Amino acid sequence: MNVGEELFRTQGFYNTGTEEILELANFPRSSFYYHFKNKEGFAVAVLNRYGKNAVQFYANILTDPNITSPKGRLVKFFKLFGDLTEKRDYKSQCLIQKLAGECAGSNDTLIKVADKELTHLLKVVERCVKEGQELGEFRTDLKPKEIAQFLHGQLYGANTIARLAKNKSVMTKGLKMALEFILI
């Protein structure tokens, strides 16, 4: 699963072969096909596991009881996201984002799974936003879900621009503007 995740994230679904996965993982072909019908079934399992781990990553920060301010949690989250992008030398990206972009219009199964996993992530952001609205930190003229979608779109857009420019400050500036947009 780890090998598959890394290959799908860096090379994409269509550029990764089953044989490459098996060879790098030192995993028997018969066992692979016992557990997974095909490469797509394997990718679904990898994407589900990645989504579960990503939700935990988001929740660890965005629901951290040690940071009482939802704004403070978002600031920390954006910083960690930018640091992680820089640490990976701008070469890696979210598997959900990668497969959603690559498979849109060509693989409905993976798109449905990516959408489901993205929805789980957005719910974590939405809870943080709702709490921020209740505490008077964030604007209330928009629904928490709308703000969560906006923030997440800004996060992934800023991440893409930072990867292209190989410059974290681009991401930092964009996310700072997004945060200012939702503040009261």
Residue pLDDT, tens place only, 80-128:
988 988 898 887 678 998 999 999 999 999 999 999 999 999 999 999 9
The 8-class DSSP code of residue 138 comes to B
Extract long-range pairs of 168-175: CB within 8 Å, 24+ residues apart: 168/82, 168/83, 168/85, 168/86, 171/81, 171/82, 171/85, 172/78, 172/79, 172/82, 175/78, 175/81, 175/82
Helix (H, G, I), strand (E, B) or coil at 26: coil
Class of domain 2-182: mainly alpha
Contact 138, 184 (CB under 8 A): yes
d(CA 180, CA 183): 5
pLDDT digits 0-9 by tens, 43-92: 999 999 999 999 999 999 999 999 999 999 999 999 998 898 889 888 76
Q: What's the mean pLDDT in 20-29?
A: 95
Q: What tens digit of pLDDT does each residue of 120-167 get?
A: 999 999 999 999 999 999 999 999 999 999 999 999 899 889 889 999
**Judging by beta carbons within 10 Å of its beta carbon (0-12, 13-18, 19+), is residue 108 exposed, middle or buried?**
exposed
Residue ranges per domain, the chain? 2-182
